Amino acid sequence: MLRLLTKSAISAPKRSINWNQGVLRLSSTFTIPKTQKGVIFYESNGPLHYKDIPVPVPKPNEILINVKYSGVCHTDLHAWQGDWPLPTKLPLVGGHEGAGVVVAKGSEVKNFEIGDLAGIKWLNGSCMSCELCETGHESNCEQADLSGYTHDGSFQQYATADAVQAARIPKGTNLAEVAPVLCAGITVYKALKDANLKAGQWVAISGAAGGLGSLAVQYAKAMGYRVLGIDGGKGKEELFNSLGGEVFIDFTKYKDSKEMINAIKEATKGGPQGVINVSVSEAAISMSTEYVRPTGTVVLVGLPAHSYVKSEIFSHVVKSINIKGSYVGNRADTREALDFFSRGLIKSPIKIVGLSELPSVYDLMKSGKILGRYVVDTSK
């Protein structure tokens, strides 16, 4: 371990740090090692190696975060399996829900200080100069840099993030509990906004007991909506009810889709005005176009590989329904979503395991056996 104090103090180690360009501003408060523990893979669907890897050096516009905890998202599974049409960088350190402490920053960074709490989001950085960035759609930027996908992410003890996009986390925040909010929370909050609902209207959460769904239920309640949850399996109804949901539909208890659709319509007296699809079931997503209320909105969030949403055209037109995709939120959505959490309106139903146990978490994820959100402790 090396304590980075002054220019002379780091002259001995062979680090790619150019002080003449003012790349780093460091603090004597933190000790930054040359290597760290992380989970890395070298080929899609290849072995996941928990090993020593170099600590990254932040660029002038970046901060270096000592990641304490990171949520595990279904996107991380896709990144490892390589089954999305968007290619990943290889080798890759996954993860994009990292919460930790700023221990170094680039010379251009003005919005973070050493010792601040910060979060690594899915959107690590964007160009901030194109039309999409100018209008608050940074995540849609063609030059978007994605944590745990095109940029090494939070399944390591130290990770970098563009300071403009990094999330500001209030001091005193429980970093393990806030980690899932950095992707799952922001994503479902943005999706609920995209549904354009009014207080008192019904919203169905398809996949209500998973990592995204468990947060979507809470955000929906906090926003004044009535919540119907759809999921199936042991313990999922109990979790949904504990989060404040109103009506639970266990899809395993219906003989066919028609019976289930009728049950949803009956419970909501005509169908929910909005549906948030966070499940990764192609059939469930297409079914939502059948039970959504006329003039309602079906929001697509979950990303099952090689899948399509199917809506029968006659009914789609006659019911005047809307189908829209909702990607991750922007900086304002991030601030708002974290504010719900800070005010105690959102609780993350998490299970903490060591970073070294990430492969077993992926196994549980593939078999659909996860309740809530798994969070990895990078120190284990």
DSSP per-residue codes, 127-172: -S-SHHHHTT-GGG-TT-EEBTTTB--SSBSEEEEETTTSEEE-TT
Judged against a pLDDT cut of 70, whether residue 13 lies above it is answered with: no
Copy the structure tokens of residue 341. Answer: 């959490």
Q: What is the pTM of this model?
A: 0.86
Cα separation, 224 vs 274, in Å, equals 13
Cβ-in-10-Å burial (0-12, 13-18, 19+) of 187 comes to: buried
Please answer whether residues 349 and 243 qualify as being in contact, where contact means their C-beta atoms are separated by less than 8 angstroms: yes
pLDDT, tens digit, for every residue of 156-206?
A: 999 999 999 999 999 999 999 999 999 989 999 999 999 999 999 999 999
Please, what is the angle between helix 358-366 and helix 74-81, to 10°? 100
CA trace torsion 42, 44, 48, 49 (10° rounding): 0
Please answer whether residues 206 and 290 qualify as being in contact, where contact means their C-beta atoms are separated by less than 8 angstroms: no
Judged against a pLDDT cut of 60, whether residue 12 lies above it is answered with: no
pLDDT greater at residue 13 or residue 89: 89
Domains and CATH numbers, the chain: 35-180+349-377 (3.90.180.10), 185-325 (3.40.50.720)
Average pLDDT, integer, range 83-91: 89
pLDDT, tens digit, for every residue of 223-253?
A: 999 999 999 988 899 999 999 999 999 998 9
Average pLDDT, integer, range 109-131: 94
Cα separation, 112 vs 109, in Å, equals 7
Please answer whether residues 25 and 112 qualify as being in contact, where contact means their C-beta atoms are separated by less than 8 angstroms: no
Q: Strands of 222-357 (E only): list them.
A: 226-231, 247-250, 274-277, 297-300, 322-325, 350-354
pLDDT of residue 229: 96
Which residue bears the tokens 């019904």? 202
